[in-house]
């Protein structure tokens, strides 16, 4: 299975048979730098479809869930850039912050008392959100790719 292949590849690498190209190491370091230590990962979940609305097409909806948090995201594509609006339930409480991350930048926003947040003008591409709550582990969504 795939894990065996990884294991064999790791053995080959470790024995020095197969030196790692420089750009691979650099990419690995970059990817490692994107992790949020100790974060709980929120996995994609099912979105409820809307009915009875006079809207010809829904916008881009994504949902991520953990045992105790649900992230609802809506991505709108404008003139080449994207706006992200979202809602976290149940409300993560006083002092909670949301980080909207792309591989190159992190934008921090306060979550409104009703659990909503928004960022605008992001480049399309990979996107992940981290919810920081007071006195609890951060929760990070999986990376999702938004295509323009």
Overall residue count recorded for the chain in this entry: 148
For 82, the token pair is 């994207």
Q: Which of 130, 128, 126 is nearest to 111 (CA)?
A: 130
Q: By the 8 A CB rule, do 126 and 144 touch?
A: yes
- CB of residue 104 vs another protein: minimum separation in angstroms? 4
Q: Does 54 bind another protein (CB under 8 A)?
A: yes
Q: Is 57 in the site for another protein (CB under 8 A)?
A: yes
Question: Binding another protein by CB under 8 A: which of 3, 50, 94, 135?
Answer: 50
Asked if 92 contacts 111 with a C-beta cutoff of 8 angstroms, the reply is yes
Q: Answer yes or no whether residue 146 interacts with another protein by CB under 8 A.
A: no
| Those residues with Cβ within 8 angstroms of residue 19's Cβ, 6 or more apart along the chain or in another chain | none
Quick note: the x/- pattern for another protein over 88-127, rule CB under 8 A, is -x-------------xx----x--xxx-xxxxxxxxxx--
Residue with tokens 């916008």: 59
**Binding of residue 138 to another protein (CB under 8 A):** no
Those residues whose C-beta lies under 8 Å from the C-beta of residue 2, and which sit 6 or more positions away, are none
Rank residues 40 and 77 by Cβ distance to another protein and give the closer one: 77
CB of 63 to another protein, least distance (A): 12
Give me the least distance between CB of 74 and another protein, in Å please: 6
64 in contact with another protein (CB under 8 A):
no
């Amino acid at each position: 299975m795939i894990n065996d292949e990884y294991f064999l590849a790791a053995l080959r690498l470790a024995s020095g048979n197969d030196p790692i190209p420089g750009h691979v190491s650099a990419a690995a370091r970059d990817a490692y730098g994107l992790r949020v230590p100790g974060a709980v990962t929120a996995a994609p979940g099912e979105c409820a479809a809307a009915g009875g609305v006079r809207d010809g097409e829904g916008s881009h909806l994504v949902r991520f869930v953990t045992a105790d948090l649900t992230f609802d995201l809506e991505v709108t594509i404008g003139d080449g850039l994207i706006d992200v609006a979202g809602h976290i339930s149940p409300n993560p409480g006083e002092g909670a912050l949301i980080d909207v991350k792309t591989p190159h930048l992190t934008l921090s926003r306060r979550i409104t008392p009703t659990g909503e947040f928004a960022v605008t003008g992001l480049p399309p591409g990979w996107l992940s959100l981290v919810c920081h709550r007071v006195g609890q582990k951060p929760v990070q969504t999986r990376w999702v790719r938004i295509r323009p």
